[in-house]
Amino acid sequence: MRLSIQGVVDSIGERTGTPFEVVMPDGARHRTGAGEPRFSIVLRGEAALVAAFTRGHIGLLEAWFDGKIDVEGDLGALFAAGMTGFEQLESHAVTKVENDLLEWRTSNRDPARARANARAHYGLGTDFYRLWLDDPLMMYTCGYWPEGTATLEQAQRNKIDHVCRKIRLEAGERFVDIGCGFGGFMFRAAETTGATGVGVNTTTEQVDWLRGEIDRRGLQDRLAVREADFREVDAQYDKVVSIGVLEHAGRDQLADVVRAHAGFLKPGGLGMLHFIGHVGRYDTELFIRKHVFPGGWIPSLAEVLVEMERCGLEIVDIENLRRHYAPTLDAWAERFQRNWEAIRALDPGRFDERFRRIWLTYLIGCAEMFRSPAGYTHLFQIVFSKGNVTRENYPMGRGFLYAGEGEAQGSGHGH
């Protein structure tokens, strides 16, 4: 067994180019690569070994969550290596059956199930998210890091301003923010453009907090929030913003959710769809939908474009911000780890060591996924119109997208 394990370790090491070691329950060490190991995988019992060989990387991860494995050293190096080197441990048939079953069980086809799925993640509480998101906007989506951006706060302000420029949001217009989260986009957009807006959110905890915050700021005449499923269209708006919502639609609900985006928009209006998407058709990672985002599903860019075309939407612009997600996740992970004791103190029963390990896998693992030069998971922003744009309602060049960008970023070193 040890010889075969050493062979597996060496094979993974050759593909990743990363020195690491595996420590067996009896203390035997299997090292690979030149130099000191970047990380050590410490097996606490034979069950962890069985999990790795029968269920691949998901078996290894869940053994770590359950304390059957410990990891010492650089978690980022471990997850980066896992992107390219651990596929030989995969049991694709077993993982696919589990993934398909999970998708069927947690489908968003029923609005009540969709609401429960959203609350499982976004209902963890404002106090929890405040400890590691940007202050004060608490934007829980990819930031925008052009050269000169130094902080997470700058990156999130940059992102909101970038979106406002993309949809030409102006004073006197009314916008809808589908999946508005903690309202960061709404507050900054209203402040910087003079527009008024309505947020749509399925998570009771966020809606209650946001209503209180709107009242506290005295913005009841300019902003409002509606607790509703994203498919429930109540009115048409001059502009539509959707930031990080489409990933929660589900495979069978993609058409309905895109159709709702079209339904929210007035003829001649502009909208912006910001979502994580695959280049090509791939299964959504089992870990993410099982442990982090129940009901989540990552569509391909092509699938989204087809549904948008069916709804009569013109695609005006597509920008890929994949590279911007890695520094966003890096910042979240650093703050999460730095503030872990404060997070744990909020609710020790919920925010326990298992939770910490799952969320580190999510934050650090996703950072490495978006950083990977060989990855197929990207971050798209699609600007769309209801009816074809004209010379009169949309500029003929792209210069307006970047006008004033340097001033918005502020000073500082690149991230």
- Cα(160)–Cα(143) distance, rounded to whole angstroms? 9
CB atoms within 10 A of CB 128: 18
pLDDT value at 348 more than 60: yes
Q: Which of 264, 243, 227 is nearest to 111 (CA)?
A: 227
What pLDDT sits at residue 12?
81
232 and 190 co-located in one domain: yes
**Phi, psi angle pair for 183, to nearest 5°:** 85, 10
Calculate mean pLDDT across residues 9-15. Answer: 81
- For position 105, what pLDDT does the model report? 86
- Given a contact cutoff of 8 angstroms between Cβ atoms, the answer to whether 147 and 373 are in contact is no
The residues annotated with a catalytic role in the active site are 366
pLDDT at 86: 58
| Confidence band, pLDDT 50/70/90 cuts, at residue 85 | low
Which CATH number covers residue 367? 3.40.50.150
Token reading at 234: 């109540």
99 within 8 A of 286, measured Cβ to Cβ:
yes
Q: How many angstroms separate the CA atoms of 307 and 317, rounded?
A: 16
40 strand-pairing partners:
21, 72
The enclosing domain of 7 has a CATH number of 3.30.1050.10
Average pLDDT over residues 281-304: 93
Q: pLDDT, tens digit, for every residue of 354-399?
A: 999 999 999 999 999 999 988 899 999 999 999 999 998 899 999 9
Whether 136 and 157 have beta carbons less than 8 Å apart is answered as: no
Q: How far apart are CA 109 and CA 295, in angstroms?
A: 9
Domain count, the chain: 2
User: What pLDDT score was predicted for residue 309?
Assistant: 96
* Residue 319 confidence (pLDDT): 97
Between these two residues, 385 and 14, which has the higher pLDDT value?
385
Pair 83, 117 in one domain: no
Asked if the structure places residue 381 within a domain, the reply is yes
- Distance CA(47)–CA(72), nearest Å, equals 19
pLDDT value, residue 383: 98
The answer to whether residues 371 and 225 belong to one domain is yes
Of 272, 266, 246, 244, which is closest to residue 257 (Cα–Cα)? 246
In a domain, 284, yes or no: yes
Mean predicted confidence (pLDDT) in 227-238: 93
In the predicted model, is pLDDT for residue 303 greater than 60?
A: yes
- Do residue 26 and residue 165 come from a single domain? no
Asked, for residue 414, whether it belongs to a domain, the answer is no
Smallest Cα–Cα separation from 63: which of 41, 85, 82, 35? 41
In a domain, 31, yes or no: yes
- Smallest CA-to-CA distance from 234 within 244, 221, 243, 224 is with 224
401 C-beta neighbours (distance < 10 Å), count: 14
Confidence of residue 411 (pLDDT cuts 50, 70, 90): very low
> Is residue 415's pLDDT more than 60?
no
Using 50, 70 and 90 to split pLDDT, how confident is the model at 2? Answer: very low
- What per-residue confidence (pLDDT) applies to 412? 34
Query: Above pLDDT 70, what percent of the chain?
Result: 94
Q: How far apart are CA 258 and CA 251, in angstroms?
A: 12
**Beta pairing partners, 225:** 199
Is the pLDDT score of 89 beyond 60?
no
Does residue 174 form part of some domain?
Answer: yes
**For 101-141, how does the pLDDT look when each residue is reduced to its tens digit (9 = 90+)?**
888 888 888 888 888 888 889 999 999 999 999 999 999 99
Pair 259, 180 in one domain: yes
pLDDT confidence of residue 410: 44
- pLDDT for position 1: 46
Mean per-residue pLDDT, 254-278? 96
Provide the Cα torsion 100, 101, 106, 110; round to 10°.
90
Has residue 342 got a pLDDT over 80?
Answer: yes
Give the pLDDT mean for 309-316: 96
Residues 72 and 123 in one domain: no
Owning domain of residue 135:
111-407
CA 65/CA 63 separation, integer angstroms: 5
Q: Note whether 79 and 368 are within 8 A (CB).
A: yes
Within-domain flag for 99: no
Distance in angstroms (rounded) separating the CA atoms of residues 365 and 182: 24
Looking at the fold, whether 81 and 125 belong to one and the same domain comes out as no
Environment class of 324 (CB within 10 Å of its CB; exposed 0-12, middle 13-18, buried 19+) = buried
Question: Which residues lie below 8 Å from residue 12, measured CB to CB, with a gap of 6+?
Answer: 32, 81, 85, 86, 88
DSSP string, 46-113: HHHHHHHHHHHHHHHHHHHHTTSEEEEE-HHHHHHHHHHH-GGG--HHHHHHHHHHHHHHT-TTSHHH
**Within this chain, do residues 75 and 125 fall inside the same structural domain, yes or no?**
no
- 126 shares a domain with 80: no
**How many CB atoms lie under 10 A from the CB of residue 90?**
14
Chain mean pLDDT for the chain: 91
**Do both 200 and 240 map to the same domain?**
yes
Other beta carbons within 10 Å of 69: 25
Whether 244 and 308 share a structural domain: yes
Whole-Å CA distances, 339 to 70, 127, 129, 151, 333: 21, 12, 11, 17, 10
Q: Nearest to residue 113, comparing CAs of 261, 244, 295, 246?
A: 295
